[in-house]
């Protein structure tokens, strides 16, 4: 299993709540509308940061985790015409694209 984790920051001038709303109401339906999502993505998790007293203020606004069967599937998804032309351009509407931190991992089950 290949997993992609991405730490996200919202676009400047957007509140955290506006960021969460845009992602839920506009971006998520767009992502789900392309057939490659069902074809290649095994699991997709979006986690919004929570300010918790006693802990430092979150540096990032959210984390995305996407699971794929293989590195080839990950590449096929992100290089598909639908992702490149429909989904990816929408990121600029709510993300600081240059601030995103990506980590591709291969799962090893320990327990």
19 SS3 class = helix
Where are the extended beta strands (E) located within 1-111? 2-8, 41-48, 62-68, 101-106
Distance separating alpha carbons of residues 62 and 11, to the nearest angstrom? 12
Is pLDDT of 51 > 90? no
CA 8 to chain centre: 7
| Strands laid side by side in the 62-68 sheet | 41-48, 62-68, 2-8, 101-106
- Tell me the average pLDDT of the chain: 96
Determine the pLDDT at residue 74.
98
pLDDT at 97: 96
């Amino acid at each position: 299993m290949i997993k992609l984790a991405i730490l996200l920051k919202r676009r400047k001038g957007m509140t955290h709540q506006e960021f969460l709303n845009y992602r839920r109401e506009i971006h998520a339906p767009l992502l789900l509308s392309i057939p490659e999502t069902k074809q290649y993505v095994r699991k997709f998790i979006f986690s919004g940061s929570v300010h918790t007293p006693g802990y430092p203020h979150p540096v990032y606004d959210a984390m995305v985790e996407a699971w794929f069967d293989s590195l080839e599937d990950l590449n096929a998804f992100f290089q598909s015409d639908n992702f490149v032309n429909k989904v990816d351009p929408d990121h600029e509407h709510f993300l600081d694209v240059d601030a995103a931190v990506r980590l591709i991992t291969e799962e090893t089950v320990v327990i």
